[in-house]
Amino acid sequence: MKYRVLGKDLRVSAVGLGCMGFSHAYGRPTAKEDAVKALRAAADMGYTFFDTAECYGPYENEELLKAAFGGNKEIAIATKFGVTLRPGSPSPIPDSRPDIIRKSVEGSLKRLGVERIDLYYQHRIDPDVEPETVAGVMSELMAEGKIARWGISETDADYLRRAHAVCPVTAIQNRYSMMYRDYEELFPLLEELGVGFVAFSPLANGLLSDRYDRDSEFENGVDYRADMPQFKAGAYDENVGLLSLLRTLAAEKNATPAQISLAWMLCKKPYIVPIPGTRRPERMRENAAAADIPLTEDEVESIDRELARVGMSAVFGGHASKKR
């Protein structure tokens, strides 16, 4: 496994593991014993960066990481505050009031079994709380030794700049894949501020692994892919050109489509760390190996031109936040 540095000093595996699917959103939860075994297998492969959130489960996902690692200081854990979910609904409700943040951090520390959280993200921007207020609380939590660093998920440039001016941000965590490239516009600002980019949904919720077809089905109510536009009827045919491009590139590099998708962003910027989610050790091994696939600057630019040309379906881009 290769390694990268987020912000000033957070050294992590070049590919991290998104842990949400063990207990939330991608089918029925994994049995605890099996999840712990898979998480430990990932660490044995060299993964040192594991992503969770208090709302995954809710709460159970953080507890899985405690059971797997028990405060292992070689493991960097990122978790999140500031979002609640209604039962049976995937629509997040942002809440970043200072008292709620403080309640959340205490809960996460206990569930993770750690004295300090390595990277603490604001899960979604709360339109009712100013970024300066949130950043101020983060500065206090750092001074108290409860968090080492903080970040923002699904941020825009203005919010990031304002928050960073109060308390430096280590990383943002935004959606990014070959099918969703909107946040490339943030690259210059990230470089200016020295902020890392943790890419979630780097395989477009699995579509770019090329392991699904027009007949793939997902269980309503427990697997959010059942409602994602890239998996809807007709979407597969819209993405034939994109998947064909991936297969061609994969054949040229003796790789898989998933590895090409990850290698493309890894070779784009040295501060990008994708966190594909999977529960299967064989997929973890496959994803980790993407960091070993070299793509030249010319090859990355060529892929970018092809992505701009090839047709593709709509892709899941996050749920609209609802006010409290």
Helix (H, G, I), strand (E, B) or coil at 163: helix
What's the number of CA atoms in the CB half-sphere (13 Å) around residue 87? 0
Sign of CA dihedral 180, 163, 197, 126: negative
Listed in sequence order, the residues at least 6 apart from 31 whose beta carbon sits closer than 8 Å to its beta carbon are: none
In this structure, what token pair is assigned to residue 149?
A: 């660093």
60, amino acid identity: E
Set 47, 56, 120, 271: catalytic member: 56
* CA-based max dimension of the chain: 53
55, amino acid identity: C
Query: Virtual CA dihedral for 83, 172, 176, 292, nearest 10 degrees?
Result: -130
Q: What is the DSSP letter of 180?
A: B
Separation between Cα atoms, residue 59 and residue 279, nearest integer Å: 18
Tell me, yes or no, if 120 is annotated catalytic: no
Q: What is the DSSP letter of 148?
A: S
CB-CB contact of 180 with 154 (8 Å): no
Exposure of 113 by Cβ count < 10 A (0-12 exposed, 13-18 middle, 19+ buried)? Answer: middle
The H-assigned helical ranges of the chain are 32-45, 60-69, 98-112, 131-143, 157-166, 187-193, 235-238, 240-253, 257-266, 281-288, 297-309
Q: Please report, for residues 263, 297, 310, the alpha-carbon distance to residue 243 in angstroms, rounded to integers and kept in the order given.
A: 16, 22, 10
Catalytic residue positions, numbered: 56
